[in-house]
Amino acid sequence: MKKEFSVTPWHVTGKVNYEKLIKEFGTQSVSVSLISKVKNPHSLLRRGLYFSHREFDLWLKDAQAGRKVSILTGRGPSEKMHLGHLIPFLLAKSLQESYNCPVYIPISEDEKFFVKKNLSFKEAQEFADDNVLDLIALGFKQGKTFIAKDFSYLPVYRNSAKIAKLISYSTAKAIFGLKPENNIGWTFYPAVQAFHILWPQFAEGPHKTLVPVGIDQDPFIRLTRDIATHSTLNFQKPSAIHSKFLPSLTGQAKMSSSEQENSLIYLSDSAEEVKKKINKYAFSGGKDTIEQHRKHGGNPDIDISFLYLKYLFEQDDKKLEKIHNDYKSGKLLTSELKNILIDKINAFLKEHIKRREDAKKHVDKFILE
Ligand code: TRP
């Protein structure tokens, strides 16, 4: 029987049923009571984009008790960054602010070089350097945030080797669905990402690490949890918190470069481009004519502009609720809703571009060589 959807680290197809994934992967769902324990929870957490976890509660307990904890999430530099790529980093930053803990950010140029047929060795490295500037621009704490690239950080290879020895080929194949035609880089890479996930413990000794990440990355989490406590490592099992995919403007489940550029907002887009893309492509829950819309109202819950405000750009609950209600009643028109989002995104990107320029002066304070 053909599955109606499939989620792996390399491919996402079909309409994802997230409840089913929780069962299939054997993770826990993020509950209201769990969120209520988090200090200043980010809108991504409060409003449900992060929906699943593995032992986030245990990480929180240690964080709240003042024990050593860390956060880790990585970036596969396959292209320039768009809004969807920010999801794990925004939560990492928010938790760093709440708990004053270190954040580790590995950059996997090797992964993207192996997996993307048309990505050259040089391009993978160029995207790595480019993406690092966007990450620093998000405002992580200097001195408590460590970025390392797989091709230049020496401990990557030796520690991945220790891990590779603990993973059989058949385990890797079962977890990652490796295909006969895949180059052998794909086979080794899971050991590298398992190292990433344990990197804070290699660096600072055993403690709880939290990995905010898209649910497609859970196979790496599972694999790493299985080997973390092996007697040659003696680490703690890492915790994880998983997000759904931020829909693209046209409403696809996962933003990726294979979709047209038009359906994604890149961090490098000009104010004009943002305006054009949202107006032209953002899927609307509004009615076909203004008369109809005024009379029957729109559906904010399927409206991409509303969803972007909800998850990313409107932190104020009261303001968000007003937008929701006004759109539903027909008081707020689609063009007006889109304008609210356009202004928010452009204000964010204007700041981002400045901070990105500034980041160029500080790269060496974040990157480990
Ligand atoms: N594989 C991830 C991606 O393609 C990037 C990544 C590399 C990562 N190392 C990581 C994510 C460690 C989480 C933890 O997006």
CB of 209 closer than 6 A to ligand 1? no
Tokens of 209: 């690490």
Asked if 91 and 42 touch (Cβ cutoff 8 Å), the reply is yes
In sequence order, which ranges of 282-333 are alpha helices (DSSP H)? 290-296, 304-308, 317-329
The pLDDT of residue 3 is 73
Over residues 284-299, mean pLDDT = 94
What residue type is assigned to position 207 of the chain? H
**Contact yes or no for 112/136 (Cβ under 8 A):** no
Spacing, Cα 343 to ligand 1 middle (Å)? 31
Indicate if the pLDDT at residue 87 is higher than 80.
yes
Q: How confident is the model at residue 2 (pLDDT cuts 50, 70, 90)?
A: low
Taking each helix axis from N to C end, the angle separating 334-359 and 317-329, rounded to the nearest 10 degrees, works out to: 150
Q: Is the pLDDT score of 349 beyond 60?
A: yes
Q: Ligand 1: which atom is nearest the Cα of residue 192?
A: 9
Q: Enter the DSSP assignment of 230.
A: S
Contact 243, 212 (CB under 8 A): yes
- Decide if pLDDT at 253 tops 70: no
Q: Hey, CA dihedral for 109, 164, 177, 72, is it positive or negative?
A: negative
Q: Is 106 in the pocket of ligand 1 (CB under 6 A)?
A: yes
- Tell me how crowded residue 365 is: count the other CB atoms within 10 A of its CB: 12
Instruction: Decide: 242 in ligand 1 pocket, CB within 6 A.
Output: no
**Which is it for the CA torsion 44, 48, 54, 56, positive or negative?**
positive
Ligand 1 centroid to Cα of residue 156, in Å, is 14
Cα distance between residue 299 and residue 295, in whole Å: 13
Q: What is the pLDDT of residues 146-184, one digit of tens each?
A: 999 999 999 999 999 999 999 999 999 988 888 999 999
Residue 76 Cβ < 6 Å to ligand 1: yes
Instruction: List, for residues 15-41, the tens digit of each pLDDT value.
Output: 899 999 999 999 999 999 999 999 999
Q: Is 243 in the pocket of ligand 1 (CB under 6 A)?
A: no
**Is the shortest distance between the CB of 131 and ligand 1 below 6 Å?**
no
Residues in the chain: 369
Q: How far apart are alpha carbons 227 and 164 in whole angstroms?
A: 10
Question: Is any atom of ligand 1 closer than 6 Å to the C-beta of 254?
Answer: no
Find out whether 71 and 102 touch, Cβ atoms under 8 Å: yes
Which residue minimizes the CA distance to atom 3 of ligand 1?
Answer: 76
Cα–ligand 1 centroid distance for 291 (angstroms): 47
**Ligand 1 binding pocket includes 87 (Cβ within 6 Å):** no
Q: What is the C-alpha end-to-end distance of the chain, expressed in Å?
A: 48
What average pLDDT does this structure show over 219-230? 98
**pLDDT single digits (tens) 104-136:** 999 999 999 999 999 999 999 999 999 999 999
